[in-house]
Structure 1
Amino acid sequence: MNIFKNIKFISIFILSLCITGMSCKKSFLDEYNPSSQTTTNYYVDAAGFESLVTSCYPLLRDITQQRVLTFVGTDVFAASGLGAIYYNQPSPQGSAFDQYDIRLNASAPELQSLWDMLYREINRCNAVVERAPGIPDEPDSLKHIRICEAKFLRSLCMFWAVQQWGDVPMPLTETKAASQVVTKVPSKDIYAQIITDLTECASTLPVSPSDAGRASQGAAKFLLARVYLTRGWNFNNSLGGAPADFTSALQLCDQIIASGKYPLETNWNKLWPVHNKNPNLETASSAASVATANASKEVIFAVQYANPSAYNGDPSVGTTTIGNNMHEMFSNGPSGVAQQARTSTYNRWLPSQICTWAAYRLFDPTLDTRYDGTFNSVSYATAKGNVSLATNNPNPQNITLSFNVNDTTAIALPWNNPATSPDQFGVDISGGTKKYAVVNPNQYFGLGYKGSTAYVDNLGWGAPMFWKFFQPGIQYGDGYSTFNDPLFRAAEVYLMAAEAIVKGATGAALGGADVYYNKVLDRALGANAGMDPQCAANPADVNDLTTVGYRATPANISIDMILDERARELLGEGNERWYDLKRTGTLISRGEKYNPWVAYGLNGTPLIDAHDYLRPLPQGMLDNSNPHIDQNPGY
């Protein structure tokens, strides 16, 4: 059964509510609803109620695509490349969400967008909870499940909101009329309500929902574990947290693991769309490429995109978003040399999240299968093309290179194996011999500069492609994927358990924190399981080849080590990296250490400080509140 079977009707219904009738017999201002459907007369029986519950799911697509507030300004993602800083360009300017400067204020449209979407979703869920008692023909047992689905989704959105802004409104009833009254609820009370709701959900929701994509008992336990874990850290002593919360989180993680419902995939790459590194040789169809990944038992809860009737975004927010855009929003695309324009071969790349150097250097490219699974380090020609090196290149010369389809046009070398002699580079570099560009890791994002002077390297390339989410065969005019976005999966359960143990949780079923951590690592190592992979000892220094192992032992396991492993395992997933750093109190330390834009701040002085652990309340909300509510401190 398809939970999105009523989406098309709901979309038409919502739009019809906005139509005003016009005829020679009626005033232009007279309302006319040709469908005769209103919320009052439609959500009155089981059919209408089921449609209402179903309508709570699609908005997750729009919410989770608001990634600037959850990835940018962290240790592993920035909004723009790093070359301007690396090559000491005068007064470089990146995103306010990276530099944490005065531009990050209440007027930032990203803040208003996320706020509006979260509270729109919360209101829908409240409508389900409030209207349920008046539905006469829905069995009570099913009605209770649907109420818990709504409470699960409401809890998820409230959890995101309270992490972003701290004390925020917590409406628990449906808003049916406009009001300027805004009441901020203390964070500890919000956490208490979320825990109450999710505890109910964990005992009521089915283990295996009949409809793909609905909330399950496992999803409720996962979210509850994350909430307990977050409350245990007790940000600014404001969450009502206590050390016992870490044990509660661990117990839930152990329950999920012991259920056997969500086993780790043997091969990490089965979690992602099937794709050939050379798209010219691709054999998988668009649908076939995601079939295995979308059916993975490791995924506990995912935003749904695979159902054809679920492609459309939410009409109430005026979006034209169709499907999943994860494959095009992270880091670099292919080299621009000898490429077809606007085709499905490489599809389109519109990255708003760029990997920092640290994101690459946290991996062992030799032993850890996740490096090659996450990045594509070779770019191929998809059309015949020529490149002249006569002008503007770092090594101008009267040479024209010709490429045929399938020819290599660029290679981005891994951080632990850089080219060390001129003949290992492309002919665009003095002394180079390769027909294609060879990019050393310290040149990622910065090949367009020579000293302090910008130039155009016609053969150059920026950095490896972010290949983890790429789905082949998507038409350029659509550009969106049918890969279901995995918000919760089992690997994170093990890492949450490890974090809880490091923070003092007791009673672990599997052993110490290192045991849980290494379960995730060894799956990633594949045939190399048991070995000690090596990452950069100093991920921020792109010229430092010193290494350190990242296999956990009882003696070395730490929060920073777990955060490194979360980055490797979950890079780009779950809309959660900013939340990880906030929860663990490492947003400033890891941001300044690993994100050059955060470290640069303004004129080389970092601006990020403690007030950045909370976002500014959106200006639109402040303007419309009466009596006026206070802005978060520091803004």
Structure 2
Amino acid sequence: MKNIFTKYTYIFSFLILAGLTGCEDMLDVDLSVNELSSETVYVSDQTADAAVNGIYQSMVTSFYYNNLHHVLGQTSDELIPQNGIATVYSSNEIEEIDGTIGSMWSELYKTIYNANNVVEGVSKSKTLNPVKSKQWIAEAKFLRAYCYFYLTNIWGDVPLVLTTNIDVSALLPKSSQEAVYEQIILDLTDASKDLPTDYTKYKEQQRIRATKWAAEALLARVNLYLGKWTDATTHATAVLNETGTYKIITGLSESNSPFISDNEESILQIPYYNVNYTYEGAFVFTTAGRSLLRKGNALFETGDDRKTKWTIDIKDRNGAFLGIAPYKYKVNFGSSFSERSTVLRLAELYLIRAEARVKSNDITGAQEDINVIRNRALLSNTTLTDPNQLLDLIALERQREFFAENGHRWMDLKRTGKLDETLSVLSDKIWKTTDRLYPIPEEAIRSNPFLKQNSGY
């Protein structure tokens, strides 16, 4: 067992260093990988900043730009394979040996490890700029909270790793979802206090590093999930009030969308270096239509601009119509404009606040927020006043706005308690209530005797 821990230590150390050496624009120092030890990284402001960039770079992996959209989309009622052949995800027959699920788990924990490394290294350093140190720790805590949000929403109770000490973390049992959420809120609250309030505080001056408003946006989402309507409204409003920085994109087009680099709707995007395309646009949601929207055209009202601008008709080789596929990301190779994987965007805050306002009996305020999203899609204002009808409309607008995006539909069905009633009636799914949680990867179970498998696997 000790050999396994040592192996993991080497792997994680390499990830930190790979993050450092991969950020050439951030790190203009002539150090070899062997020289970039923890002791040297957290002595210089320049190398410490590069270590933080390394956390973001650890997010340029399949979980964040592919599986988060694609796998979660299939396990919900959102996406179906274009070829009509069910996958283990679309039929909800995932096994604990599934390699994709294993990589999703490990990629999230690798990012958490990198974040923990920054928190520990910066906290211990006596030579770093104290103001920047607070910012770097805040960034690491935000990214750690972001990862734990997905871990607990995909797997439920999970190990809460807050250290780089492998001898400690390798044998951690699961923590309850309540404990995980407590840590998420603690990290995001701390981050909100010390993160910059605008992107100009970063030398990149791009929307690729977390600001206070990214932390507030994620706090709004977390509090919505926890049913804390007043807190969800407060945090969402804090972001929506930043009108000098954030605006809803209107007049949707190929080069004017929430997925364009540094657009006014984006709150946080994953950085890509030396390329102007996204992996979503180049490999995942392409004109080939890897997956189709299960509900097809029926998902959208007549005239919905999201259907026009964010989907593509897919036909077979004989020209027969098969369905519509997600086509939000459009940049493949050699485009004159660039896109980035978008982690947080302003539209979500309007729909979060709308839902929280309905729950708080602020019907007029909820209508106003819903209409911002509907009007952008070239749809008319809602006239609904019944709270239940408004909640149904918000759920539908979330489905239309965030289809094939960051797992929103899967998690919305879970948090609202509608997974069973929605998925059990679909003929291509072999649905069990326990399928609401993915299996803990077999490799993780084998490595840690205190880690218990989720029910149903």
TM-score by length of 2: 0.83
Residue 306 (structure 2) pairs with residue 370 (structure 1): yes
1:560 Cα deviation (Å)?
Answer: 3.0
Once the two structures are superposed, residues 143-176 of structure 1 have per-residue CA deviations (whole angstroms, 9 ceiling, x without a partner) of: 1111000000000001100111111111112235
Per-residue deviation at 1:118?
0.6
Larger Rg computed on CA atoms: 1
Closer/same/farther in 2, CA of residues 459 and 162 from structure 1, 3 Å limit = closer
What amino acid is aligned across from residue 634 of structure 1 in structure 2? Answer: G
Q: Say which of 265, 279, 282 aligns to 1:325.
A: 279
Q: CA deviation at 1:492?
A: 1.0
Structure 1 length-normalised TM? 0.61
Equivalent in 258, 267, 274 of residue 300 of structure 1:
267
Q: Distance in 2 between matches of 1:246 and 1:291?
A: 26
Matched, 1:248 2:213: no
Q: Measure, in 1, the Cα distance between the counterparts of 2:45 and 2:21.
A: 15
Give the Cα separation in 1 of the matches to 2:285 and 2:298.
Answer: 15
Distance 1:464 1:572 in 2: 12
Q: Within the alignment, does 1:609 sit opposite 2:441 as a pair?
A: no
What residue in structure 1 maps to residue 400 of structure 2?
Answer: 568
* Matching residue of 2:21: 10
Amino acid in the other structure paired with 1:38:
S
Q: CA deviation at 1:36?
A: 3.7
Instruction: Report deviation, 1:464.
Output: 4.2
Check conservation: 1:376, 1:467, Cα contact below 8 A. Answer: yes
Distance 2:258 2:452 in 1: 49
3-state SS of paired residue (1:99): coil
- Structure 2: gaps spanning 5 or more residues: 1-16, 25-31
For residues 147-166 of structure 1, the aligned pairs below 5 Å read 147-166=137-156
Q: In angstroms, what is the RMSD of aligned CA positions?
A: 3.0
- Distance in 2 (alpha carbons) for counterparts of 1:34 and 1:129: 21
Partner of 1:463: 323
Residue number among 148, 165, 182 corresponding to 1:175 in the alignment: 165
- 2:224: which partner in 1? 229
Matched residue SS, 1:488: strand
SS of structure 2 residue aligned to 1:600: coil
Which whole-Å CA distance do the structure 2 matches of 1:154 and 1:460 have between them?
A: 46
CA distance in 2, matches of 1:258, 1:484: 24
Describe the SS at the equivalent of 2:189: helix
Mapped contact 2:43–2:125 kept (Cα < 8 A)? yes
Specify whether residues 330 and 139 from structure 1 end up closer, same or farther in structure 2 by C-alpha distance, changes over 3 A only.
Answer: closer
Q: Is contact 2:20–2:51 with CA below 8 Å preserved after alignment?
A: no
Q: Would the aligned equivalents of 2:174 and 2:452 in 1 still touch at CA under 8 Å? A: no
Residue aligned with 2:422, SS = helix
Instruction: Rate the CA distance shift 1:583–1:49 in 2: closer, same or farther, 3 A.
Output: same
Counterpart for residue 543 of structure 1: none
Superposed, which structure 2 residues align to 1:541-556 within 5 Å?
551-555=382-386
Q: 1:371 to 1:562 in 2, by over 3 A?
A: same
The count of residues paired between Structure 1 and Structure 2 equals 424
Take 1:468 and 1:127, find their aligned partners in 2: how far apart are those partners?
Answer: 35
What pairs up with 1:190-205 in 2 under 5 angstroms? 190-205=180-195
| More helix by percentage | 2
Query: Could you tell me how far apart the structure 2 residues matched to 1:583 and 1:632 are?
Result: 18
Counterpart residue type for residue 96 of structure 1: V
Task: Summarize deviations over 1:212-261 as a string: whole Å, max 9, x none.
Answer: 211011100000111111122xxxxxxxxxxxx12110111122212324
Alignment of 1:227-626 (within 5 A): 227-232=222-227, 245-265=228-248, 267-269=250-252, 272-273=254-255, 293-305=260-272, 307-308=273-274, 311=275, 324-328=278-282, 333=287, 349=288, 351=290, 353-356=291-294, 358-365=295-302, 367-377=303-313, 458-464=318-324, 466-471=326-331, 473-474=333-334, 482-502=338-358, 504-505=359-360, 511-525=364-378, 529-530=380-381, 551-555=382-386, 557-592=389-424, 598-601=426-429, 607-626=430-449
Counterparts of 1:199 and 1:7, CA distance in 2: 29
| DSSP-derived class of the 2:452 partner | coil
1:111 is the counterpart of 2:101? yes
For residues 177 and 612 of structure 1, do their structure 2 counterparts lie closer, same or farther at Cα, with a shift above 3 Å needed?
same
What is aligned with 2:64? Answer: 64
Cα deviation code 1:44-66 (max 9, x no counterpart): 33232212111000122213122
Identity %: 24
1:523 & 1:461 partners in 2: Cα distance? 28
For residues 454 and 331 of structure 2, what CA distance do their matches in structure 1 show?
41
Q: 2:19 and 2:433 mapped to 1: Cα distance?
A: 45
Q: CA deviation at 1:522?
A: 1.2
Alignment partners' CA distance in 1, 2:151 and 2:325: 32
Describe the shift of the 1:552–1:303 C-alpha distance in structure 2 as closer, same or farther (beyond 3 A).
Answer: farther
Is 1:53 matched up with 2:52?
yes
Supply the distance in 1 between the matched residues of 2:398 and 2:252 (Cα, whole angstroms): 16
Q: CA deviation at 1:330?
A: 5.4
Aligned equivalents of 2:326, 2:223: Cα separation in 1 = 32
Change over 3 Å in CA distance of 1:376–1:459 after alignment to 2: closer
Q: State the SS of the aligned residue for 2:348.
A: helix
Aligned to 2:88: 96
Structure 1 segments of 4+ aligned residues over 6 angstroms from their partners = none
**Once the 2 structures are TM-superposed, how far is the Cα of residue 622 of structure 1 from its aligned partner?**
0.4
Give the secondary structure class of the aligned counterpart of 1:496. Answer: helix
Contact residue 222 and residue 253 of structure 1 kept, 8 A? yes
Unaligned runs of 5+ in 1: 1-5, 14-32, 83-92, 233-244, 275-289, 312-321, 334-348, 378-411, 413-443, 448-456, 476-480, 531-550, 602-606
